[in-house]
Amino acid sequence: MTGPSPSSPSSPSPAGTAREIARSVRSGERSAVDVLDGYVAAIEARETEIHAFNELTLDQARTVAADIDRRVAVGEDPGPLAGVPIALKDNLCTRGVVTTCSSKILEGWIPPYDATVVQRLVAAGSVAVGKTNLDEFAMGSSTENSAFGPTRNPHDTSRVPGGSSGGSAAAVAAGFAPVSLGSDTGGSIRQPAALCGVVGVKPTYGLVSRYGLIAFASSLDQIGPFATTVADAAVVLEAIAGHDPADATSIPQDAPSIVEHLDDGIAGLRVGVITELMGEGIHPDVAARVREAAEALAAAGAVVEEVSVPAVAYGLSAYYLIAPAEASSNLARFDGVRYGLRVDAATTNEMMVATRTAGFGAEVKRRIMLGTYALSAGYYDAFYGQAQKVRTLIARDFATAYERFDVLLSPTSPTTAFELGAIHDPLTMYLNDICTIPTNLAGDPAMSVPFGTGSDGLPIGVQVLAPTLGEVPMFRAAAVLEAAAPTEEVDR
């Protein structure tokens, strides 16, 4: 390793967990300003090495923290995340703060409004410390596609943190914030959570409002938390979940209460280990940890069996038609006319071409072209239409599995963190999401829980999957895995 790990993969910051911070700030035992200062010191010590952030908002954070302390002093309760520093992925709109999606085409753009999740975090008392780096427009699995340079894995700075929410995962793993938000379109929360050794949650599609999330693929995108503990992830999810009239895809009902069930245990819970995600392409270290996780759940009282979800084998193929098709439509708005970068040219068409050529990176261009082709006349039915049929098959196969099981288990990422610059072939890079993509296509929740390390000493994450709105049993299983997580390396 090029630098020491700041902590073990699943251990909380020295400042405490988010729940502990909020409890002490609400009681007046600690001040929000002092808590913030501790995290600022951590950021100043390692941020130039890690590059987790595109933009730091520390002056605004100090103002918010001071106001929280004032409210506590007069007897007010600032909320369940009182004084908790949080990092926000730089595709979440934040009023008055630059929001770029790590793209030159939005460099310097300042939104006039906050995303709904940002509003809810403010209402819960959290303190935003900055906007985190990502693969441009959330398209990538390594955070190497950012127009502003890559983020590095805090456990080994020669390695990637995963993507696309690599900055958010790295910020939590490095102790820059106890919690953060990311977005997950095909694994962009769970895969970096696994590679950075933190908890990462993709909620049920529609449970968390997407209003103010700059869209990649609208039928797949979902916002969720990173945290050092399962309980902290649950607290943040409860804070941001729930119906939002501003989002037409928002589920019109109250969000489930998760925190109160974390200690319920899993006696009698039915767990299925997905056979299709335990074979070819999965590193032996990772497969070994998943088997150990299954054994830990069984030891805690769960009924554990293998289960086949056949259509997951086609998830990658379907995703890389559906997601680029939606991206080609969503990214058409970046044309040099309304906002963002504008490269002047003799005609309007030439201006648009010049703007998009200069503003978009290679991976974004690749996916726009792929999506445009899939939607074009003569190819729509053969590619996009066929991919949607496969998506339906995947959803049906998951539904069938959930008739027998309460939750499912699989690897999160097929490997531990790979070296920066090691993967040049796009198809090889896409394979990093083979375990996570199927759940996005189905719209169900899933989360990654740190579960020991590989023989290289790098974190491994185990994925817990659940049916639609099955967050409660999913978190119960995750809490058991967290408590049972091994500390030794697997044998070579």
- Residue 357 falls inside a structural domain: yes
Q: Which of 171, 246, 238 is nearest to 201 (CA)?
A: 238
- Residue 213 falls inside a structural domain: yes
Known catalytic membership, residue 317: no
The reply to whether 185 and 322 lie within a common domain is no
Average pLDDT, integer, range 320-327: 96
Amino acid at 113: Y
Q: What is the pLDDT of residue 488?
A: 66
Instruction: Work out the end-to-end distance of the chain between its first and last CA atoms, rounded to an integer number of angstroms.
Output: 18
- Residue 419 falls inside a structural domain: yes
Least confident of 24-38, 284-298, 305-319, 334-348: 334-348
Residue 2 has pLDDT above 60, yes or no: no
The reply to whether 98 and 40 lie within a common domain is yes
Amino acid at 163: G
State the pairing for strand pair 179-183/223-227. antiparallel
Residue 339's pLDDT band (boundaries 50, 70, 90)? Answer: confident
Strand partners, 448: 200, 463
- Residue 492 falls inside a structural domain: no
Q: Are 133 and 15 in contact (CB under 8 A)?
A: no
Six-digit token pair at 55?
């933009």
Residue 5 has pLDDT above 90, yes or no: no
Q: Of 385, 413, 436, which residue sits at a domain end?
A: 385
Q: How many CB atoms lie within 10 A of CB 178?
A: 31
Strand partners, 55: 131
Residue 3 has pLDDT above 80, yes or no: no
**Ramachandran class of 48: left when φ > 0, alpha when ψ lies in -120 to 50, beta otherwise:** alpha
Q: How many CB atoms lie within 10 A of CB 399?
A: 14
Dump pLDDT digits (tens) for 425-436.
Answer: 999 999 999 999
**In sequence order, which residues have a C-beta less than 8 Å from that of residue 18 and are 6 or more positions away?**
81, 84, 178, 179, 227, 229, 232, 235, 236
**In sequence order, which residues have a C-beta less than 8 Å from that of residue 120 and are 6 or more positions away?**
239, 240, 242
The reply to whether 179 and 294 lie within a common domain is yes
- Residue 390 falls inside a structural domain: no
Q: What is the pLDDT of residue 489?
A: 60
Q: Are 227 and 236 in contact (CB under 8 A)?
A: yes
Six-digit token pair at 483?
């408590």
Q: Which of 5, 89, 102, 328 is catalytic?
A: 89
Average pLDDT, integer, range 389-398: 98
Helical (H) or strand (E) element with 34: helix 32-50
Query: Would you say how long the chain is, in residues?
Result: 492
**CATH classification at residue 94:** 3.90.1300.10
The reply to whether 363 and 422 lie within a common domain is no
Distance CA 169, CA 181 (A): 9
Residue 226's pLDDT band (boundaries 50, 70, 90)? Answer: very high
Dump pLDDT digits (tens) for 184-204.
Answer: 999 999 999 999 999 999 999
Domain count, the chain: 2
Q: Are 46 and 154 in contact (CB under 8 A)?
A: yes
- Name the residue range of residue 129's domain: 18-309+396-484
The reply to whether 409 and 294 lie within a common domain is yes
Residue 47's pLDDT band (boundaries 50, 70, 90)? Answer: very high
Residue reference for tokens 């929001």: 99
Residue 492 has pLDDT above 80, yes or no: no
- Residue 181 falls inside a structural domain: yes
Distance CA 124, CA 147 (A): 32
Share of the chain above pLDDT 70, in %: 96
Average pLDDT, rounded, for the chain: 95
The reply to whether 348 and 400 lie within a common domain is no
pTM for this prediction: 0.95
Q: Which of 188, 209, 410, 413 is catalytic?
A: 188
Known catalytic membership, residue 13: no
- String of DSSP letters for 116-154: HHHHHHHHTT-EEEEEE--SGGG--SSS---TT----BT
Q: Which of 164, 183, 250, 328 is catalytic?
A: 164
The reply to whether 263 and 131 lie within a common domain is yes
Residue 400's pLDDT band (boundaries 50, 70, 90)? Answer: very high
Residue 170's pLDDT band (boundaries 50, 70, 90)? Answer: very high
Q: What is the pLDDT of residue 9?
A: 40
Residue 473 has pLDDT above 80, yes or no: yes
Dump pLDDT digits (tens) for 141-156.
Answer: 999 999 999 999 999 9
Q: What is the pLDDT of residue 25?
A: 98
Dump pLDDT digits (tens) for 93-125.
Answer: 999 999 999 999 999 999 999 999 999 999 999
Average pLDDT, integer, range 38-42: 97
Q: Of 385, 420, 436, which residue sits at a domain end?
A: 385
The reply to whether 420 and 353 lie within a common domain is no
Residue 409 has pLDDT above 50, yes or no: yes
Known catalytic membership, residue 104: no
Residue 458 has pLDDT above 60, yes or no: yes
Q: What is the pLDDT of residue 8?
A: 41
The reply to whether 42 and 163 lie within a common domain is yes
Strand order in the sheet with 127-132: 53-56, 127-132, 85-89, 179-183, 223-227, 199-202, 446-453, 459-465, 407-411, 270-274, 303-307
Q: What is the pLDDT of residue 338?
A: 84
- Residue 10 falls inside a structural domain: no
Q: Using alpha carbons, list the distances in angstroms from residue 104 to 58, 139, 149, 219, 401.
A: 23, 14, 12, 25, 43
Peptide bond before 146: cis, by omega within 30 degrees of 0?
no
Helices (H), 301-385: 315-330, 348-359, 362-375
Residue 377 has pLDDT above 90, yes or no: no
Distance CA 424, CA 445 (A): 31
Six-digit token pair at 25?
């700030």
- Residue 154 falls inside a structural domain: yes
Q: What is the pLDDT of residue 13?
A: 60
The reply to whether 372 and 410 lie within a common domain is no
Q: Which of 406, 413, 415, 414 is nearest to 478 (CA)?
A: 406
Q: Of 331, 352, 385, which residue sits at a domain end?
A: 385
Least confident of 46-50, 146-150, 334-338, 353-357: 334-338
Six-digit token pair at 19?
């729940």
**Ramachandran class of 137: left when φ > 0, alpha when ψ lies in -120 to 50, beta otherwise:** left
Q: Using alpha carbons, list the distances in angstroms from residue 172 to 120, 181, 415.
A: 20, 10, 20
Strand partners, 450: 461
The reply to whether 64 and 188 lie within a common domain is yes
Strand partners, 376: none
Residue 72's pLDDT band (boundaries 50, 70, 90)? Answer: very high
Q: What is the pLDDT of residue 110?
A: 96
The reply to whether 267 and 329 lie within a common domain is no
Average pLDDT, integer, range 11-27: 85
